[in-house]
C-alpha cells in the first residue's frame, strides 16, 4: 500500500486493485459529502434566509459530483489485477 512517506517508485508498483479501491472510496466520500452539504443547506440554511439564491450549487456541488462520478465509473470499469 502506498502511504504518504513512501517514495514514488514504490507507489507506482502498487497493484491496480488498491488504486481502484481508494479511487472508489474517495469518489463515494465526495458524493456523500455533497449529499450532507445539500441536506444541511436545504433543511437548516434555507429556513434562515428570505430569498435563497443558491449559486453554490454551480460552484461546489456540480464540480464535485462530476469529478466523483467520472472517477468512480473509471475505477469501477477497470478489471482488477490479481496479485
Helix 62-77 to helix 16-43 angle, to the nearest 10 degrees? 150
Give pLDDT, residue 32: 95
The kind and range of the H/E element at 38 are: helix 16-43
pTM recorded for the entire structure: 0.65
User: pLDDT value at position 56?
Assistant: 85
Per-residue DSSP letter, 48 = G
- The torsion angle over the Cα atoms of residues 71, 72, 74 and 80, rounded to 10 degrees, is 130
* Mean pLDDT value of segment 28-36: 93
Give residue for cell 478489471: 79
Q: How far apart are the C-alpha atoms of 42 and 71, rounded to whole Å? A: 27
What is the rounded average pLDDT for all residues in the chain? Answer: 78
Phi, psi torsion values for 15, nearest 5 degrees? -60, 150
Amino acid at each position: 500500500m502506498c502511504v504518504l512517506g513512501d517514495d514514488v517508485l514504490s507507489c507506482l508498483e502498487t497493484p491496480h486493485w488498491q488504486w481502484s479501491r481508494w479511487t472508489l472510496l474517495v469518489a463515494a466520500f465526495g458524493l456523500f459529502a455533497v449529499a450532507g452539504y445539500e441536506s444541511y443547506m436545504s433543511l437548516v440554511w434555507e429556513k434562515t434566509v428570505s430569498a435563497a439564491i443558491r449559486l453554490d450549487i454551480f460552484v461546489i456541488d456540480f464540480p464535485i459530483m462530476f469529478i466523483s462520478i467520472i472517477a468512480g465509473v473509471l475505477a469501477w470499469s477497470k478489471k482488477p489485477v490479481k496479485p
